[in-house]
Structure 1
Amino acid sequence: MKIVETEYSVIINGTEIEGFIDKEQTCSNCQANLIYYDEFDAYFCAYCNEWKESKCEDPTCFYCPNRPNKPLNN
Protein backbone atom coordinates (compact mmCIF):
# COMPACT_ATOMS: atom_id res chain seq x y z
CA MET A 1 0.00 0.00 0.00
CA LYS A 2 1.34 3.40 -0.97
CA ILE A 3 0.31 6.32 1.26
CA VAL A 4 1.53 9.86 0.56
CA GLU A 5 0.59 12.97 2.53
CA THR A 6 0.42 16.35 0.79
CA GLU A 7 -0.31 19.72 2.35
CA TYR A 8 -4.09 19.21 2.50
CA SER A 9 -4.69 15.61 1.50
CA VAL A 10 -3.63 12.00 1.70
CA ILE A 11 -3.17 9.85 -1.41
CA ILE A 12 -3.77 6.15 -0.80
CA ASN A 13 -2.95 3.89 -3.74
CA GLY A 14 -3.76 6.73 -6.13
CA THR A 15 -7.01 7.80 -4.41
CA GLU A 16 -6.84 11.29 -2.93
CA ILE A 17 -8.86 12.27 0.13
CA GLU A 18 -8.92 15.51 2.08
CA GLY A 19 -7.36 14.92 5.45
CA PHE A 20 -4.07 14.13 7.16
CA ILE A 21 -2.04 11.35 8.73
CA ASP A 22 -2.22 11.59 12.52
CA LYS A 23 1.30 11.09 13.86
CA GLU A 24 0.05 10.45 17.41
CA GLN A 25 -2.86 8.02 16.97
CA THR A 26 -2.31 4.44 15.87
CA CYS A 27 -4.55 1.54 14.95
CA SER A 28 -5.15 -0.89 17.81
CA ASN A 29 -5.02 -3.81 15.33
CA CYS A 30 -1.94 -3.11 13.18
CA GLN A 31 -0.28 -0.09 14.87
CA ALA A 32 -0.31 2.00 11.66
CA ASN A 33 -0.93 5.72 12.01
CA LEU A 34 -4.58 6.68 11.66
CA ILE A 35 -5.78 8.96 8.89
CA TYR A 36 -8.32 11.73 9.42
CA TYR A 37 -10.92 11.80 6.63
CA ASP A 38 -12.24 15.34 6.46
CA GLU A 39 -15.34 14.53 4.38
CA PHE A 40 -16.67 12.25 7.13
CA ASP A 41 -15.05 13.92 10.18
CA ALA A 42 -13.64 10.58 11.32
CA TYR A 43 -10.41 8.64 11.73
CA PHE A 44 -9.67 5.36 9.96
CA CYS A 45 -6.91 2.83 9.39
CA ALA A 46 -6.01 2.50 5.71
CA TYR A 47 -4.32 -0.89 6.21
CA CYS A 48 -7.29 -2.46 8.01
CA ASN A 49 -9.80 -0.38 5.98
CA GLU A 50 -11.82 0.26 9.14
CA TRP A 51 -13.30 3.33 10.76
CA LYS A 52 -11.96 3.85 14.26
CA GLU A 53 -15.01 5.80 15.41
CA SER A 54 -18.64 4.77 15.47
CA LYS A 55 -21.29 6.77 13.68
CA CYS A 56 -23.13 9.14 15.97
CA GLU A 57 -26.82 8.83 16.80
CA ASP A 58 -27.70 12.41 15.83
CA PRO A 59 -30.24 12.27 12.96
CA THR A 60 -29.25 15.78 11.87
CA CYS A 61 -25.52 15.00 11.69
CA PHE A 62 -23.94 16.27 8.49
CA TYR A 63 -21.25 13.54 8.35
CA CYS A 64 -22.43 10.18 9.66
CA PRO A 65 -25.49 9.40 7.50
CA ASN A 66 -23.35 9.59 4.33
CA ARG A 67 -20.37 7.66 5.68
CA PRO A 68 -19.76 4.36 3.84
CA ASN A 69 -19.25 1.07 5.72
CA LYS A 70 -15.56 1.04 4.72
CA PRO A 71 -13.37 4.13 4.27
CA LEU A 72 -11.68 2.89 1.08
CA ASN A 73 -13.23 1.32 -1.99
CA ASN A 74 -10.98 -1.64 -2.76
Structure 2
Amino acid sequence: MKIEEKDDFVIINGFEIDGFIDKIQLCSKCRNNLIYYEDFDAYFCPNCNTWTEDKCKDSSCFYCPNRPERPLPF
Protein backbone atom coordinates (compact mmCIF):
# COMPACT_ATOMS: atom_id res chain seq x y z
CA MET A 1 0.00 0.00 0.00
CA LYS A 2 1.43 3.36 -1.05
CA ILE A 3 0.60 6.21 1.34
CA GLU A 4 1.86 9.74 0.88
CA GLU A 5 1.02 13.10 2.38
CA LYS A 6 0.93 16.29 0.28
CA ASP A 7 -0.14 19.63 1.74
CA ASP A 8 -3.50 18.93 3.47
CA PHE A 9 -4.11 15.66 1.62
CA VAL A 10 -3.29 12.00 2.12
CA ILE A 11 -3.06 9.84 -1.00
CA ILE A 12 -3.55 6.11 -0.51
CA ASN A 13 -2.98 4.02 -3.64
CA GLY A 14 -4.13 7.00 -5.73
CA PHE A 15 -7.22 7.71 -3.57
CA GLU A 16 -6.98 11.28 -2.23
CA ILE A 17 -8.59 12.46 1.02
CA ASP A 18 -8.50 15.66 3.07
CA GLY A 19 -6.57 14.85 6.21
CA PHE A 20 -3.20 13.91 7.64
CA ILE A 21 -1.15 10.98 8.84
CA ASP A 22 -1.06 10.96 12.64
CA LYS A 23 2.53 10.43 13.70
CA ILE A 24 1.56 9.47 17.28
CA GLN A 25 -1.62 7.38 17.24
CA LEU A 26 -1.29 3.76 16.12
CA CYS A 27 -3.86 1.13 15.19
CA SER A 28 -4.51 -1.18 18.14
CA LYS A 29 -4.58 -4.21 15.80
CA CYS A 30 -1.75 -3.75 13.28
CA ARG A 31 0.23 -0.85 14.84
CA ASN A 32 0.12 1.26 11.64
CA ASN A 33 -0.15 5.03 11.92
CA LEU A 34 -3.74 6.24 11.89
CA ILE A 35 -5.03 8.73 9.36
CA TYR A 36 -7.37 11.59 10.14
CA TYR A 37 -10.14 11.88 7.53
CA GLU A 38 -11.35 15.47 7.64
CA ASP A 39 -14.59 14.90 5.68
CA PHE A 40 -15.85 12.61 8.46
CA ASP A 41 -13.97 14.09 11.46
CA ALA A 42 -12.66 10.63 12.31
CA TYR A 43 -9.49 8.54 12.42
CA PHE A 44 -9.01 5.27 10.57
CA CYS A 45 -6.41 2.61 9.91
CA PRO A 46 -5.58 2.37 6.21
CA ASN A 47 -4.13 -1.12 6.59
CA CYS A 48 -7.22 -2.56 8.33
CA ASN A 49 -9.60 -0.21 6.45
CA THR A 50 -11.57 0.39 9.65
CA TRP A 51 -12.64 3.43 11.63
CA THR A 52 -11.20 3.76 15.12
CA GLU A 53 -14.48 4.96 16.63
CA ASP A 54 -18.17 4.33 16.13
CA LYS A 55 -20.54 6.88 14.65
CA CYS A 56 -22.05 9.21 17.22
CA LYS A 57 -25.72 9.09 18.19
CA ASP A 58 -26.32 12.81 17.56
CA SER A 59 -29.04 13.11 14.91
CA SER A 60 -27.86 16.60 13.98
CA CYS A 61 -24.24 15.54 13.48
CA PHE A 62 -22.78 16.88 10.25
CA TYR A 63 -20.24 14.04 9.82
CA CYS A 64 -21.55 10.68 10.96
CA PRO A 65 -24.73 10.21 8.89
CA ASN A 66 -22.71 10.33 5.65
CA ARG A 67 -19.76 8.26 6.83
CA PRO A 68 -19.33 5.03 4.83
CA GLU A 69 -18.95 1.65 6.49
CA ARG A 70 -15.30 1.52 5.44
CA PRO A 71 -13.00 4.52 4.99
CA LEU A 72 -11.41 3.35 1.72
CA PRO A 73 -13.35 2.16 -1.34
CA PHE A 74 -10.95 -0.76 -1.96
TM-score range, shorter chain: over 0.9
1:11 corresponds in structure 2 to 11
CA offset at residue 63 of structure 1? 0.1
User: Paired residue for 1:53?
Assistant: 53
**How much has 1:7 moved relative to structure 2?**
1.2
1:17-36 matches, within 5 Å, as 17-36=17-36
- C-alpha distance in structure 1 between counterparts of 2:73 and 2:19, whole Å: 17
Give TM-score, length-normalised by structure 1. 0.99
Unaligned stretches of 5+ in structure 1? Answer: none
Structure 2's unaligned 5+ residue stretches are none
The number of equivalent residue pairs is 74
CA RMSD of aligned residues (A): 0.3
Q: Deviations over 1:19-73 (max 9, x none)?
A: 0000000000000000000000000000000000110000000000000000000
TM-score, length-scaled by structure 2: 0.99
Runs of 4+ in 1 over 2 A off after TM superposition: none
CA distance in 2, matches of 1:68, 1:59: 16
Identity %: 65
